Amino acid sequence: MQLSSKLPTVSGTTYTRWGRTSCGSQSKLIYSGQMTGPDFRSEGGGSNYQCLPGDPEYDARAPSGVPYSKLRPAFYDTNLVRDIFGASFYRHRIPCAVCETQLRTAKLMIPAKVRCPNSDWVIEYKGFIMSAAEHRKDQGFFIDDHFRTSYVCVDDKPESVASKPASGSFFGGLLHPVSAACSGDETLANCPPYLSDDRALSCVICTK
């Protein structure tokens, strides 16, 4: 048997850059789209977000006129903490980009960090951890969020989908910053160095 002289192709890994339409300088864009998820009023639907492309392809067999679980746009719901982005993105739809690294096969999202562990890792982007808000009856602006979603790292220099911000009542996925529980009875063991509940947690996406 003759062995092939060709070396195997070295591939990379992929990650989603939430809040932007492009990738970092060391990664390649696969596609960009709009961040979507379940309606914040719903108790059904998926528990993770999807980066929905702008050019869908439908299977000819796909039925119509039947009940579906719907993907709705995700919005920055940052009216109370708009300063984390340096400007107000309240009610703006959130874009996303799916990216491929160049010859780097490991990917890591580190919460509460703005740097990668060491020089072996490349920073793809940094930002803030965001998710649907908790269901809290003692805080009126959280009372309508019923479902659990993924924690995602949203770029700290965000963009918005090219459309007008939602006005009046708006429904879809509402992303809020995430903080460490450092007050009350159920707190983290290490407060400090983790700070009070009103401090948004950072995040960084690393590859190597």
Written as tens digits, the pLDDT of the chain (208 aa) is 555 556 556 678 999 999 999 998 889 999 999 999 877 666 666 778 999 999 999 888 877 777 778 888 998 887 655 567 776 787 889 999 999 998 899 999 999 999 999 999 999 999 999 988 765 544 544 444 456 678 999 999 999 887 665 555 556 778 888 888 888 778 888 888 998 767 889 999 999 9
C-alpha closest to that of 161 among 97, 205, 79: 97
The pLDDT of residue 42: 63
The pLDDT of residue 37: 86
The pLDDT of residue 7: 55
176-181, Cβ contacts within 8 angstroms, sequence gap of 24 or more: 176/77, 176/78, 176/81, 176/130, 176/131, 176/132, 176/133, 177/78, 177/81, 177/84, 177/128, 177/129, 177/130, 177/201, 178/128, 178/129, 178/130, 178/131, 178/151, 180/112
The pLDDT of residue 81: 53
Report DSSP letters for 40-85, one per residue: TT-S-S-SS-EEEESS----TT---SS--PPPEEEEE--TTSGGGG
Which H helix or E strand runs over 101?
Answer: strand 95-101
The pLDDT of residue 3: 54
Name the pTM for this structure. Answer: 0.83
Residue with tokens 């789209």: 33
CA 167, 76, 94, 84 dihedral sign is: positive
